[in-house]
Amino acid sequence: MVNQLYGREILESECVNVDFEKLEESGRIETSGFFLKKGQEYCRRCNTKITPIEFNNCFCGQPCTYCTNCLQMGKVRRCSKFFHTPEPNQFEISKDPVLAWKGTLSNQQREASEEIIQSIDSNEVRLLWAVAGAGKTEMLFPGIEKAIKAHKRICLASPRVDVCLELAPRIQKAFPNVSMSVLYGGMEETYTYTQLVVATTHQLYRFKEAFDLLIIDEIDAFPFKLDEALHFAVDKARKPQSALIYLTATPDRSDQKKISQKKLKASILPARYHGHPLPIPIVIREPNWEKSLLKPKQATKVFKEITKRLDLQKKFLLFIPNIEWMETFEIILQRRFKEARFEAVHSQDDQRKQKVLLMREKKLDFLMTTTILERGVTFPDIDVLVIGADDRIFTESSLVQIAGRAGRSPEYPTGEVLYFHDGMTIEMKRAIRQIRKMNTIAKKRGLLLT
């Protein structure tokens, strides 16, 4: 199939079911694994400078080496070949309606949506700064609809697999008659050529000048924020004339400065779509929490708050700083709360999709998690407890995102957020300050119901 390469740049080994004879007719471009820039070799896929290493047993029979930066996506050697075919935008005309979503946008959402459409029409860059629960996805729908009707190719990407898996069914439901694929590491289905693509940002390495509209969600999330190679992948995946929309609830200080200096166009939404303020985190001192919480019989504030919620049958998320401590603490909770139904999830858990589903179906009383669920997942009626909020893993951005898991539903807009700590950190203070600031702005704009 020729269309397997439309807008793609992939290794020969990744060309599954590709008719290379037909590719000759469709403008196939063949390039080497590395390219030279100022006498230095760079990886063609991720633009990383190649550090000379010994690799003499390559099947090419020549002195060879490979890129270690994007190794998890397949080895790019000096002797590798990449194949690319220009994006032709060959899509079947979508059946009506293109957009099946029947919801309505609030005034602030509609204003942001119109600004997004303007940026798409003008092929420019825009940042959508919207608090968690503002309805970012729904604001994108009118712009995506217009792009689809114009036969443009669209990609929604996120650094997190969980965000993509949460986003994909919502996009497919909104655009049921539009071809769509979901791309992430370890996916079960093979790649197919579609007009809509939902993908992790790492998957953008495999595209070249493919997208007329590229939307990057959660730009502050690890690893996208600090990875220059992923930013290169974004630039490579979009067409020279294309629109780029960034989404975040917590832009970093650099982006905030660009916005204030008018160097970056931005749409700012300080209020949730249901008009209720963001829950302000409550800080609770839990001295020496790392050791005290691992003693099952010890009376602690954490155990008190867990007991209270179990008695009230109130669902909650329990955020933990790291996997190793969480696995030990899970055993403690099993002994202390023998009747409670709960699971623990983390980045190395191959059952995390199923466990999240159990929580969504209300078959669990609570879910223990690392920062893997700090964003992109929605449960309608939950509280949020953060153990060890003073741990360095919890940055201002992650703490704001975690707080944003509570109170997202208009039926349950007032969930509680508790930060347990053994000493307030600057990141905790900044997170609470940012949440208060957005509530203040929203109130001044008359966007809050209370």
User: For the segment 351-367, what is each residue's pLDDT rounded down to a tens digit?
Assistant: 988 999 999 999 999 99
From CA 151, how far away is CA 122, in angstroms rounded? 16
Q: Which phi-psi region, left, alpha or beta, contains residue 135 (left: φ > 0; alpha: ψ -120 to 50)?
A: left
pLDDT, average across residues 390-396: 95
- Are 310 and 340 within 8 A, CB to CB? yes
Copy the structure tokens of residue 208: 């070249």
Asked, colleague to colleague, whether 107-269 and 282-444 share their fold, the answer is yes
What are the phi and psi torsion angles at 85 (to 5°)?
-130, 130
pLDDT, average across residues 410-426: 95
- Are 233 and 219 within 8 A, CB to CB? no
pLDDT surpassing 70 at residue 26:
no
From CA 290, how far away is CA 426, in angstroms rounded? 20
Give the E-state strand segments of 180-339 in sequence order: 180-183, 196-200, 211-216, 238-248, 265-269, 282-285, 316-319
pLDDT surpassing 90 at residue 281:
yes
pLDDT, average across residues 14-21: 72
Q: How confident is the model at residue 61 (pLDDT cuts 50, 70, 90)?
A: confident
Average pLDDT of the chain, as a whole number:
92
pLDDT surpassing 80 at residue 373:
yes
What are the phi and psi torsion angles at 399 (to 5°)?
-65, -35
pLDDT surpassing 80 at residue 21:
no
pLDDT, position 83: 92
pLDDT, position 298: 83
In angstroms, what CA-CA distances link 297 with 292, 336, 337, 366, 370?
10, 8, 11, 21, 24
Domain locations along the chain: 2-84, 107-269, 282-444
Query: Which CATH superfamily is 282-444 part of?
Result: P-loop containing nucleotide triphosphate hydrolases (3.40.50.300)
Q: How confident is the model at residue 3 (pLDDT cuts 50, 70, 90)?
A: confident
From CA 86, how far away is CA 208, in angstroms rounded? 8
DSSP helix/strand/coil, 31: strand
pTM: 0.84
Q: Which tops the pLDDT comparison, 124 or 57?
A: 124
pLDDT, average across residues 401-422: 94
Q: What is the pLDDT of residues 207-256, one digit of tens each?
A: 999 999 999 998 887 788 889 999 999 999 999 999 999 999 988 888 88
| Number of Cβ within a 10 Å radius of residue 244 | 20
Question: The domain at 107-269 falls in which architecture?
Answer: 3-Layer(aba) Sandwich (3.40)
Type and span of the H or E element at 427: helix 426-444
pLDDT, average across residues 92-99: 83
Beta-carbon contacts of 399 under 8 Å, excluding residues fewer than 6 positions away, are 281, 386, 389, 419, 427, 428, 431
In angstroms, what CA-CA distances link 215 with 6, 245, 256, 311?
19, 5, 19, 43
From CA 265, how far away is CA 259, in angstroms rounded? 6
- How far is it between the farthest Cα atoms of the chain? 74
| Number of Cβ within a 10 Å radius of residue 62 | 9
pLDDT, position 109: 93
| Angle (nearest 5°) at CA 418 between 417 and 420 | 155
Least confident of 133-137, 264-268, 328-332: 133-137
